[in-house]
A and B are shown apart, each in its own frame.
Chain A
């Protein structure tokens, strides 16, 4: 079936880096761009930006520039989110999400990856 499967929870110390993976299956990976969404504990959803799955060109929303990097490995239908110089405020669930907007009917989310930053 169509799904996005993300890597497991991570516990990191401040200043470290983390790389979250998101593997797509059940559809043609290069048909739909990949987005990333953050949800801090008890908070709402924040769109971080997206990556063009054909060109690899990323677009970052303000507030997610510099330490955040979106990347791809199309040979294994996988998208990645890397966060460097981790801070306590990066503690959150990170979701990968793909869709066919504006058509709208295709809308697939990963199960989420909890990243905890604590000393």
Chain B
């Protein structure tokens, strides 16, 4: 099983600031099959990034994904009010799909 460790657990930032979220895998993620999701309270997860760096349909370009192998990053270039949420990474490179524990981005 590939274990995904997200850091930090909570990120306290102000509007307009840059957010950098990390996702580290316990072993290399095949073909960089790594996705990022955003989840707001009471809502289902929403796909932001797939294939480590491809933005999903309708996702603003202030969201970007990067990384390969075992280290991946989600960057939000300028935080907007609607960006405060919990973010999860997910790997789908193995037959056993796994999620990270999440990073909460909160308003400072």
Contact = CB atoms under 8 A, between A and B. Distances in A.
Interface of A: 44-47, 61, 95, 101-102, 104-105, 107, 109-112
B99 A47 contact: yes
A45 B92 contact: no
Contacts of B39: 45
Contacts of A46: 99
Contact of B98 (A47, A95, A105, A109): A47
B50 A61 contact: no
Given A44-B101, A45-B88, A111 B44 contact: yes
7 contacts: A45-B37, A45-B90, A45-B102, A95-B44, A102-B92, A105-B50, A105-B54
Contacts of B45: 45, 95, 109
Interface in B29-47: 31, 33, 35, 37, 39, 44-47
Interface of B: 31, 33, 35, 37, 39, 44-47, 50-51, 54, 56-57, 88, 90, 92, 96-102
B8 to A, nearest CB: 15
Contact of A110 (B35, B44, B57, B88): B44
Contacts of B101: 44
Contact of B54 (A47, A104, A109, A110): A104
B67 to A, nearest CB: 16
Contact of A112 (B44, B50, B98): B44
Contacts of B37: 45
B52 to A, nearest CB: 10
Given A45-B45, A107-B56, A111-B44, A102 B51 contact: yes
A104 B51 contact: yes
